[in-house]
Structure 1
């Protein structure tokens, strides 16, 4: 399993370009959380929609039941009005002015219609008062004798006196009729005897009574209504086909104010408490399915747009990123082929830009080192050629000087003898193999004294030399040939152009653990721009080929000291016009 996972990881992230890796990584990291969040969101919203629909269905059912209870209570009140009407009771007892049964029946009919009113009259199928007084016959549109009622199939004296409500199927009209019964009693105020005078029966068309409000039904999901009596017989149904869902249902659960799901339908049960009727509300579950499907499609579209946005953004970003990386790779490939030409820098401030910037710097330095090495090789070959051209046997030079000195002595030209002796010492110091790179400071001073002796012979009495030397520092080791270029510069550019006699001062002292050698003249000095140019020249890492041809000079001495001893050592210069120039050589203290 680990091997398979390793191979998949290698294939996806290690075998593809960084562009593909970034796209895959971003999509995986974004799609998985988005998918999980989308699923959780859909589940939550689906539950919320279901709860909202259940609450909506519950409110519809409760409102309907409340309206039905109110209507039945109103009808019962009208029955009470009829049963307690004194005019009707008097006519039934034959205590009116007229004993004609039809005249009495007409009066009762008028009173019944008054009590029924006009508000709900269209819902009433019929209303009849049945008299139980055999000696006082009465007949009319709304009144008859109880013998007529006994002929009907619905008549049951026990039910009339006990239940007060029953339903029956009208034979002639083939429709369900809900009948409300109210017994009529007369109570004698003197004897308090209660006499049964008959009953009033109000027939209500269940289709009009229980029909749901059309305007309300259109605003919600479609639903059907089934009304059951206490014996679980159907009193009313808004859709005859909806009764099939009743098969197999436990009727004790139908009025528990809970949703029951069956056959893709949601069934909600409630009761009409006044007459023990059960009301079932059957909602089509496809309405919830449509809501859920709409919600699912909306979430899927949102997720699709979000993932598309992430994919497009990732593509654009990674494309730009990979192009910049590709540009850097191209530079590396060109460098591998030997092309160190720095092209345009990669724009930006991120890590790629930093890598590109440092890579460009590295290419420039590498190119400079290659050029420098190439030039050094040429110079080395040139120096070797010059060395071969100038390679002369030192003994030949010494013998020649000895010959000149002997001839001068014969001629009593002792000053020439001295010059030859000093020049011989200079040749031995310069060409001798007994001297290494470092020499004691006193030998470097002796070499300068020989050099100045020859220069004084050249310039005559044009300058004097003053030595301020700390004797305990003369044993210190210093680089060879570091003073002659400085002294030569002071004589050639400082004192040679001075109209009066000059003074050259050479001082050696110890300062903060270092040795300071000062070569100071009181010559013509330098202007500020000349001084700045000279300082920049001796401190520069690279100079032109023409400057290098000048030979050993101040810059060479400064570079030798820094390379051998460190950047904290070297030459510093100060100068003022017409006052002179001072070169200070700072060296480490080496015993």
Structure 2
């Protein structure tokens, strides 16, 4: 067994031997040590971090619970105030009782710093209130009638109302939450309803406490009521709380767990607020907790990489004498690769390198013989490709145009058909009968204008063409049918489905390297994934793509430009969903082969 392993090792190439030694005796031990240390450190760090976060979360929810409990206590003051109950039971004008009740309202409102306003609604519909910072509700009558129905079924208990947006005295929106309670007669023991007390508090009381916790955890936090309705969420929330996740938590004790959302790891933390029957949830990115561990991991990997590189350099220096002939052959190969076909490898010995060099020299000689044969065949092939691509556009466009004319004739039965037929004739004469493959920019724009006129017959003047091409550039030579397929693609895939008018803008620029045109539309655009897919489709089209596939016009123009001018030119597509698409066309000043 050992003999076979030894023979196997000795028969390996020098590169494989050196690589195996470095991996077994250097990289593997260091990597194993580093990974074990990193895992232990990460596990301990996670336990400590979660313990700290849970303590901070419990302290925050405890403060909020105490605050809501104090709001409930404020609503209980009218129940134990004999004088206030007598004022509410006493019939009489509003103003006679207002000053006396105002004293209690002022006292109740000043008990907590975060209170915005305190209201008392008696059983005759009179509203008494005390406010801070002009925080009086503008819709008191409508909202308080709803509150009366809520507290009537609460049997005298305080009811916590979730977040709502109210309008203050000046009509400005403001988010608040409230505690309401029915005031019942406790003096005479009848427990009849004497009115309703409402305590409003600014939602920032909750927001400030939650934001302080988020500064520590860098997470996304939420407070929801028993029905799952939103009470508060921090403004920089980067991930949505899955509704199905809420139903799996323990609403009595709280806790935490590891979860995955959109392929990202989070710590899901939940804590109850029992005074309000609310739940506090927080999604904390695991990555944010382990930044320090990531630094240790990176340092470990860097040390391993440096040691590995040093070992590799030492191995290369040792094997230099053995690999010198191979490196000489490599240099000759690179010379040939750069285009110097006359380069030859000097064969001195009959060993393996000599045999390889002799074979290489024979191969170069044969390649030189084949180049002349292949050159003529390729030139004929390029011409055939151009003719095939040129013919590919016309049937596609003729079909759409004839369908437009047919539908227009059936629906309108008017003389517009004559104009459309005349315009179609101009397009056909340009695309089919013109023999020259090179035309001026002006001729291309005239052809495009005919196409837009024809499409406006179909779409009731929906499209507008805006040109910004310098005068000297109008006489520049370009390939035929350059703009029309791109504009056609913009209409059928971007502007046709857009509400309102469509604008197509063409801008031409003469640059040192060549000519650049941008064709922009204000259509429906496309997503970033669709944009990448389309650009890849232009660069690497499938050989079995049907002619009716989306992007046939763009792909046709892109291929013809690259055949005519070279692979460094062509189309570049940029798009934003809902805003439009821009196609950039780049060409050199002179084609790579004659017209």
Give the TM-score of the pair, scaled to structure 1: 0.43
Larger Rg: 1
Give the TM-score of the pair, scaled to structure 2: 0.43
